[in-house]
Amino acid sequence: MYFQGVERLKSMNETVDPDSVAKATPASPEAAPDVGLAPAPKRYRLGKIALAVALAAALIALGLRLENIGPSTLESSRPASPSGPPPQTVRAAPATLGDMPITIDALGTVTPLATVTVKTQISGKLMQVGFQEGQLVKEGDFLAQIDDRPFQATLAQAQGQLAKDTALYQQAQADLARYQTLVKQDSIAHQQVEDQVFLVAQDKAAMASDQAQIDATKLNIAYARIVSPITGRVGLRLVDAGNYVQPTDAAGLVVITQLDPISVIFSTPEDNWQRITRRVNSGAKLPVTAFDRSNVKELATGVLTTFDNQVDTSTGTFKLRATFPNSDSALFPSQFVNVRLLVDTMTGAVLVPNAAIQIGSPGSFVYLVNDDNTVSVRKVVTGPTDASRTVVSSGLAVGDKVVVDGADRLREGAKVRLAPPRNDAGAGPAGADGSWPAAGSPGAGDAATLGKHRHRKDGEAAGGAAPEAAGPAAAAPASPSPSPSATP
């Protein structure tokens, strides 16, 4: 409009003829009053210019006014769009009735029930090694042989001494019998008989000492043959055959570790003490599951066997031991594992997906989908939770539909449009009850997809309301609507 006014001004200037203006002015000075002003032709020229400027300013102002009020006038002539924002597309899931396991997650370390460092109990040359590194051995299997020839010689010497002392004992006993007969006949003195009694006792003690020496030597001979004290896996060999070994060696010969069964030691906060001890004292066998470092793969399942007798004051935790059968060697000593202890199971609980629970200033709440496709804020009291579900202690009933996706822009009384539940194939409900799959599970899909569909639908609705609004004004992006608060 501004440019149209300028063009009109130019056309008006071109239609004015300067010669005709000059002819129209008075020829004589008497026509103009003598008031001390400029000559008449010059005065008319200035008036013409002033009129043209005023005309141009009026046209410019008119153009600006038409430019400002034109779109509003056009908009007022269009059909009125429906009041309020369009319904928001959301996904909902019903509250279901089920069981919720009450578990305790902790970090644990695989600890063998028995670890033995095999050492020699006698000094001598290591003659033979009877195991392979990493071999599985049973209790009593041969491991190593130490030179026992010195002990065999000592054994023979002790046995000879025993034979000698046995003969002396028998001789002294025979003499004692004769002396006792003679003393009755008053043929010998009583002192001689008493001395013979003591001599018999000495020979008997010498025989006992010889027998003890024999037993000690036989024990050393037995120690020379080293066998496995437990059933387990043999570690790396720490000494080779030909070395002189003795009991003071710190490293020993080899380390044997029991692998089946095996245990896991883990810690839990002292707040769980009452709950665990109450279940254990009632005779319940609490199952324990061990997972790998990433807490994804299940390694083994066992039972809780015992717990420590005091709380660690530095951490506020106490230790527990769980025992696992380990025939497949899934658990390895000193391995780091994630532990899940099943303490109890809550039966007949109202369950909703974790995504349905919202946190705001009043606490925990959900968006409840009403029969008229509106949502209302419902305050709930939550209980135990797991990776995908949460127990609702109060505030919901079985069958109530709650929003699980698209709740970021909802508010009390907002209109919604329910999207069908999706599964892996993209058709039909995600589960038997039509519940929304948990985040990270197969079929959960991309959360951004729903937002893209919602924005596209909103754009189509806005475009359909005013299809004729083309041009620069229609091409400008619409300002985003203010985001509603997540709290009720």
Per-residue pLDDT of the chain (488 residues; tens, 9 = 90+): 445 554 554 555 554 454 544 444 444 444 444 444 445 556 667 777 888 888 888 888 777 666 555 444 444 345 444 556 788 899 999 999 999 999 999 999 999 999 999 999 999 999 999 999 999 999 999 999 999 999 999 999 999 999 999 999 999 999 999 988 888 888 888 898 899 999 999 999 999 999 999 999 999 999 999 999 999 999 999 999 999 999 999 899 999 999 999 999 999 999 999 999 999 999 899 999 999 999 999 999 999 999 999 999 999 999 999 999 999 999 999 999 999 999 999 999 999 999 999 998 878 999 999 999 999 999 999 998 888 899 999 999 999 999 999 888 888 889 999 888 665 433 334 443 444 443 333 333 333 333 433 333 343 333 333 333 333 333 333 333 333 333 33
Q: How many residues are listed for the chain in this entry?
A: 488
Q: What are phi and psi of 407, to 5 degrees?
A: -90, 0
Largest Cα span, the chain: 207
**pLDDT of 466:** 36
Q: What is the pLDDT of residue 197?
A: 92
Strands (DSSP E) contained in 286-422 are: 287-291, 298-307, 317-324, 336-353, 358-360, 363-369, 375-379, 381-385, 389-394, 401-405, 416-418
* Triad 222, 226, 231: Cα angle to 5°: 125
Q: In whole angstroms, what is the distance from residue 277 CA to residue 292 CA? A: 27
Q: How far is Cα 26 from Cα 32, in angstroms, rounded to an integer?
A: 8
Encoded amino acid at 278, one letter: R
Q: 116: which 2 tokens?
A: 């033995």
Q: What pLDDT score does 57 carry?
A: 81
CA-based nearest residue to 297, from 266, 267, 335: 335
Structure-token pair, residue 48 = 């013409």
Q: What is the pLDDT of residue 154?
A: 94
Q: Please give the sequence-ordered ranges of beta strands (E in DSSP) within 133-221, or none if there are none.
A: 136-137, 142-146
Which residues are registered as beta bridge partners of 369? 375
Element holding 100 (H helix, E strand):
strand 96-112
pTM to 2 decimals?
Answer: 0.59
Residue 52's pLDDT is what?
A: 83
Residue 404, both tokens: 């699980």
**Per-residue tokens: 150:** 């010195």
Report strand pairing: 317-324 vs 363-369: unpaired
The Cα–Cα gap between 389 and 399 comes to 15
